[in-house]
């Protein structure tokens, strides 16, 4: 997730919680929703997109474009894609399960499990979960973007990634501030592996994917850059660094792309080993809808731990207590009676959003195959804001 995505999510967070006793969902109008998807996708020049919506009024799926740029196969709810930072919800859930079982404490220092972390004796597991460690974000390192451009199939080891993170000094003291950093969740993945004594992919499968029936979700083996069929190919203008670091597209590039003389780069075959527990998983819209229903709906944790998870999001900026909140691998916005728990995912080639409102029993999953629009908007999350206007009588921010 980049600052572009955080800026979009702050639009949600600008909606203050207010009084109310019932959700304010509109009756579902499939034609209006499909039209909104098509209009937004065409405006952002998306090769493909997929939306799954679940409400008490029924389950709906809306596709756009094709699974490959210029192709003829439309995407559906069972099409695989790279879910990027939505993986953090999975890593966080396993971490909470380990805490529930007494195999770690949330106030354990990360140094108990991973050696060599700057300030590791002062950074707790909870600091990592809540993005409050102060550690430099390794995906901001220019070496990573350059490597993905030159050799997208390179296999990265956690040690190499941590070396990028630790080459820069921490940005602040542990728990002093909030800053979104993929380094936190890379470390949590290593903590899980240390406790479980097996690869993170095996832990995810045994603890979550298999019990929940998520047969189309996986964390690939480190050496694999494959995606199970059927899958959607992912694209980006300007190369991988455009998804890792917020750099506006030059006007000349925008003009060429809009004129059809510049095609986006195909990033499908990148090796996601650089993302690990921070963003390496693959899934489908159907599986992610089931995941959010289970995660927010209370199927994973004991009641007291589920309440702790629900209450974990705290304001990122103490001066704006009703602003953007982030907790144990989850963001939250409240407006009127509604409580939307959500996360986003962004990596070269793909953008996605998944959220569940337990008050209205509404689940929304969106993925797109163009990471950032030519005018710099994270595509799935921009579409999310448009669709919430169709889903809620009073959408957030109104």
- pLDDT tens column, 183-230: 999 999 999 999 999 999 999 999 999 999 999 999 999 999 999 999
Tens of pLDDT along 236-253?
998 777 766 667 899 999
For residue 16, what pLDDT band results from cuts at 50, 70 and 90? Answer: very low
Domain regions of the chain by residue span: 3-391
* Residue 20 predicted with pLDDT over 50: no
> Residues with Cβ < 8 Å from 128, sequence gap 6 or more?
110, 184, 185, 187, 188, 191
User: Do 84 and 347 touch, CB atoms closer than 8 A?
Assistant: yes
In this prediction, residue 18 carries a pLDDT of 42
Angle between the N-to-C axes of helices 87-100 and 303-310, in degrees from 0 to 180, rounded to the nearest 10: 140
- Where is average pLDDT lowest: 227-236, 276-285, 317-326, 331-340? 317-326
Tens of pLDDT along 257-282?
999 999 999 999 999 999 999 999 99
For residue 318, what pLDDT band results from cuts at 50, 70 and 90? Answer: confident
Fold adopted by 3-391: Beta-lactamase (3.40.710)
What tokens appear for 160 in the block? 């190499």
In this prediction, residue 6 carries a pLDDT of 52
Of 186 and 398, the one with more pLDDT: 186
User: Do 129 and 342 touch, CB atoms closer than 8 A?
Assistant: no
Is the pTM higher than 0.75? The answer reads yes
């Amino acid at each position: 997730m980049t600052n572009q995505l955080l800026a979009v999510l702050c639009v949600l967070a600008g909606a203050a919680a207010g009084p109310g006793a019932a959700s304010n969902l509109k009756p579902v109008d499939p034609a209006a929703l499909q039209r909104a998807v098509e209009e937004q996708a065409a405006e952002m020049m998306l090769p493909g997109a997929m939306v799954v919506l679940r409400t008490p009024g029924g389950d709906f799926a809306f596709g756009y474009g094709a699974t490959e740029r210029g192709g003829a196969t439309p995407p559906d709810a069972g099409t695989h894609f790279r879910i990027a930072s939505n993986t953090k919800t999975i890593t966080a859930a396993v971490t909470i399960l380990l805490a529930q079982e007494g195999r770690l404490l949330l106030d354990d220092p990360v140094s108990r499990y991973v050696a060599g972390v700057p300030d590791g004796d002062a950074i707790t597991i909870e600091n990592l979960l809540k993005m409050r460690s102060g550690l430099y974000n390794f995906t901001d390192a220019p070496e990573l973007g350059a490597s993905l451009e030159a050799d997208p199939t390179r296999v990265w080891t956690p040690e190499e990634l941590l070396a990028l993170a630790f080459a820069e000094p921490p940005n602040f003291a542990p728990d002093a501030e909030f800053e979104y950093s993929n380094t936190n969740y890379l470390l949590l993945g290593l903590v899980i592996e240390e406790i479980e004594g097996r690869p993170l992919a095996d832990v995810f499968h045994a603890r979550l994917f298999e019990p929940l029936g998520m047969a189309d979700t996986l964390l690939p083996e480190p050496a694999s850059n494959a995606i199970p069929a059927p899958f959607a190919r992912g694209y980006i203008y300007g190369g991988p660094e455009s998804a890792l670091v917020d750099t506006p597209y030059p006007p000349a590039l925008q003009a060429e792309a809009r004129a059809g003389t510049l095609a986006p780069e195909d990033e499908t075959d990148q090796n996601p080993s650089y993302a690990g527990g921070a963003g390496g998983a693959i899934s489908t819209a159907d599986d992610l809808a089931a995941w959010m229903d289970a995660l927010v709906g209370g199927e994973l944790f004991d009641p007291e731990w589920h309440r702790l998870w629900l209450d974990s999001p705290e304001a990122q900026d103490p001066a704006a207590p009703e602003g953007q909140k982030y907790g144990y691998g989850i963001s939250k916005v409240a407006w009127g009676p509604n409580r939307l728990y959500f996360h986003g995912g962004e990596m070269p080639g793909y953008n996605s959003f998944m959220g569940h409102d337990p008050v209205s029993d509404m689940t929304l999953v969106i993925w797109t195959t163009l990471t950032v629009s030519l005018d710099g908007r994270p595509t799935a999350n921009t579409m999310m804001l448009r669709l919430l206007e169709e889903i809620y009588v009073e959408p957030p921010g109104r």
